[in-house]
Structure 1
Amino acid sequence: MTLAALPRLPLALGLAGLIPFVTTAAMAWWAPLAWQVVAIKAFLFYGAVILSFLGGVQWGVAMSLEPAESAGFRRRLLLSMVPSLIAWPALLLHPYSGAWVLAAGFLLVRLHEAGRDSRELQPDWYQTLRTLLTVAVVACHGVVIWRLSSG
Structure 2
Amino acid sequence: MPRTPSLAALVLGGAGLIPFLGLGALVILGQSLFGLAPRPLLAAYGAVIASFLGGLRWGAAAASPEGKAVDYAVSVVPSLIAWAALFAPAPWDLRALGALVLAWGLVDQDLPRRGLVPAWLGRLRMVLSGVAGLALLAAGFLGPVS
TM-score range, shorter chain: 0.7 to 0.9
Quick check: 1:59–1:77 contact (8 Å CA) kept in 2?
Answer: yes
**Which residue matches 2:43?**
44
In structure 2, the partner of 1:54 is 53
Q: What is the number of equivalent residue pairs in this alignment?
A: 142
**Cα deviation digits, residues 2-30 of structure 1 (max 9, x gap):** xxx53211011100101111110111133
Equivalent in the alignment of 1:147 = 142
Write the deviation string for residues 23-42 of structure 1: whole angstroms up to 9, x where unpaired.
10111133546879711110
Residue pairs, 1:70-85, within 5 angstroms: 73-85=68-80
Contact 2:64 2:116 survives alignment (8 Å) = yes
| Residue 88 (structure 2) aligned to one of 85, 93, 96 | 93
C-alpha separation between the residues in 2 aligned to 1:36 and 1:145?
Answer: 20
Aligned letter for 2:90?
Answer: P
| Aligned residue identity for 1:81 | V
| Superposition map of 1:27-38 within 5 A | 27-30=26-29, 32=31, 38=37
Q: Is the 8 A contact 1:29 1:36 kept in 2?
A: no
Opposite residue 143 of structure 1, the aligned amino acid is A
Among 122, 125, 137, which residue is 1:130 paired with? 125
Tell me, in whole angstroms, the C-alpha distance in 2 between the residues paired with 1:27 and 1:17: 17
Identical counterparts, % of pairs: 31
1:56 is displaced (CA, Å) by 0.7
Q: Give the TM-score of the pair, scaled to structure 2.
A: 0.86
Would the aligned equivalents of 1:30 and 1:36 in 2 still touch at CA under 8 Å? no
Provide, for residues 79-105 of structure 1, a one-character-per-residue CA deviation record: whole Å limited to 9, x for no partner: 000000100000001121111211121
C-alpha contact (below 8 Å) 1:18/1:136 kept by paired residues: yes
SS in 1 for 2:108: helix
Aligned partners of 2:112 and 2:119 also within 8 Å: no
User: Any idea what SS the aligned residue of 2:87 has?
Assistant: coil
Q: Residue 28 of structure 2 contacts residue 144 of structure 2 at CA under 8 Å; is this kept in 1?
A: no
Query: Is the 2:20–2:42 contact (alpha carbons within 8 Å) kept by the matching residues of 1?
Result: yes
